[in-house]
Structure 1
Amino acid sequence: MLGTANETTRGGDRPGPRRGPGAVPARSRRGPGAVPAWFRRGSVGGGWYTGRVRISRLPLDEQPAAVRAVLETNPSLVRVLGLARGLDLPGWWLAAGAVVQTIWNHVTGRPPGYGLKDYDLIYYDPSDLSWEAEDRAIRAGRETFGDLPVEIRNEARVHLWYESRFGVPCPPYEGSEDAIDSFPSTTGAVGVRLTPSGAWRIYAPYGVADAFNLVLRPNPRLATREVYEAKAARWSAAWPELTVLPWPWRS
């Protein structure tokens, strides 16, 4: 997993899952919000860099700041983070598509919001698993986010409906991080949030090297082959530079 330019996160202060290439439990030794020197130097075409970035070759303590610097190029994402901090749902993360797609857009030189359908805000509240409780959170989110397309989901109750929708059972998650660990692609398993003090925290159990290298890697932990391949088809249509790795044949 990754720390941030402000502090290290260990998946919501719990032991992390299996770590893939590029996953680093590192604490930045730079000050809050610091951007690596290479990021400031390489200005090309209005951005800090273009082309594929070997982020795994960066010093470990510079990787979180690089991720933050890229995400901050998306003003809508930054706005969602700030508003979500005020909403303060338990165990919340801004995760999945909008996070990794902002990275793809920066690497490929596209506008920050290109191809982003919505922003997935997940949280974890096992105290009330009713739909009515989740719906209250969704309605509060609509008031908070206004015209921003934010989808809110309580990951504590996903096991109640997952099998009927996707055809495979889903064990109850132990936390929001457990849900991120199970995303259909390890590449998209990235979450970001702000602490009450405004510090950035990044959860990336499989690292971020694949995201920066435009590699889409399957995660057979929970999702089916059909779910992964449907997402891969949609995403590669919008970002044809992606290298889509096949579903493991044994799964």
Structure 2
Amino acid sequence: MISRLPLDEQLTTLKSVLSRNEMLLEVLDRTATLGLPGWYVTAGCLFQTVWNVVTDRHPSSGIKDYDVFYFDSRDLSWEAEDRVIRAAAEAFTGLPTQVEVRNEARVHLWYEEKFGVACAPYASTEEAIDSFAATTCCLGVRLEPGGAWRVYAPHGLSDVFSLVVRPNPVLAPREVYETKTARWRQQWPELTVLDWPSAPTEPARSSS
């Protein structure tokens, strides 16, 4: 099984598997030209490509968009982020898919309004990836100068290759996890989705 390979071989296999998604490679190549600080292509386009290859589907099957995260805390205005989004839209012109570019330094400004829980400011793109609703999703890839791949996978790759979705209750609420996993199960019924952990119970107080 791929998930039982040594970590260095898992990384080699990951690159081989992701390289079968030609759209992903094009997004990586074009994003590298934008000069975004701390950028990664991340989220569904990565782990879903792996799921597709492992289950003998087309590499891009069911992937609705490609997410690009970057981190720039120098200007947290919407106008600054919008300028980057517009420049990225030009770079991705002609691609038959949606590419969403977001500055993770700004997430705390809108997260609570959208998801109902507060989000402390992130210190890096990696920290933003750490907060995905499932540990399986915590994966990012970018191209370094010279074309080398940089892979960020704080929880390893075994669950990704094994089609296991494991909750990550550090920020996103339970409803987000359950909504996402229900949608993924429809596309990839082979997934093993682990339950959101129950709330810890307070220890009984002893009477004296």
TM-score, scaled relative to structure 1 = 0.77
| Alignment equivalent of 1:175, drawn from 117, 120, 124 | 124
| Alignment equivalent of 2:55, drawn from 103, 108, 113 | 108
Deviations 1:93-147 (CA, angstroms, capped at 9, x unpaired) = 0000000000000000000110000000000000000001111111001000113
AA matched with 2:32: R
| Secondary structure of the structure 2 residue equivalent to 1:70 | helix
CA distance in 1: counterparts of 2:45 and 2:101, whole angstroms: 13
| Alignment equivalent of 1:190, drawn from 139, 162, 169 | 139
Within the alignment, does 1:241 sit opposite 2:190 as a pair?
yes
Q: How do 1:1-251 residues align onto structure 2 when only pairs under 5 Å count?
A: 54-148=1-95, 149-250=98-199
The answer to which structure has the higher helix fraction is 2
Identity over aligned residues, as a percent?
Answer: 61
AA matched with 1:103: V
Cα deviation, residue 58, structure 1 = 1.1
CA distance in 2: counterparts of 1:211 and 1:62, whole angstroms: 14
Cα deviation, residue 79, structure 1 = 0.6
Cα deviation, residue 239, structure 1 = 0.6
Larger gyration radius, structure 1 or structure 2? 2
CA distance in 1: counterparts of 2:178 and 2:115, whole angstroms: 13
AA matched with 2:58: P
TM-score, scaled relative to structure 2 = 0.93
| Secondary structure of the structure 2 residue equivalent to 1:67 | helix
Runs (5+) with no aligned partner, structure 1:
1-53
**Following TM superposition, where does structure 1 have runs of at least 4 consecutive aligned residues deviating by more than 4 angstroms?**
none
Deviations 1:196-249 (CA, angstroms, capped at 9, x unpaired) = 110011100001111111111111010000010010011111111111111011
AA matched with 1:107: V
8 A contact 2:165–2:193 mirrored in 1 = yes
AA matched with 1:247: W
AA matched with 2:20: T
CA distance in 2: counterparts of 1:132 and 1:66, whole angstroms: 40
Cα deviation, residue 63, structure 1 = 1.5
Aligned length: 198
AA matched with 1:211: V
8 A contact 2:28–2:143 mirrored in 1 = yes
Runs (5+) with no aligned partner, structure 2:
201-208
Provide the residue aligned with 2:205 in structure 1: none
| Secondary structure of the structure 1 residue equivalent to 2:137 | coil
Q: More relative contact order in 1 or in 2 (CA 8 Å, sep 6+)?
A: 1
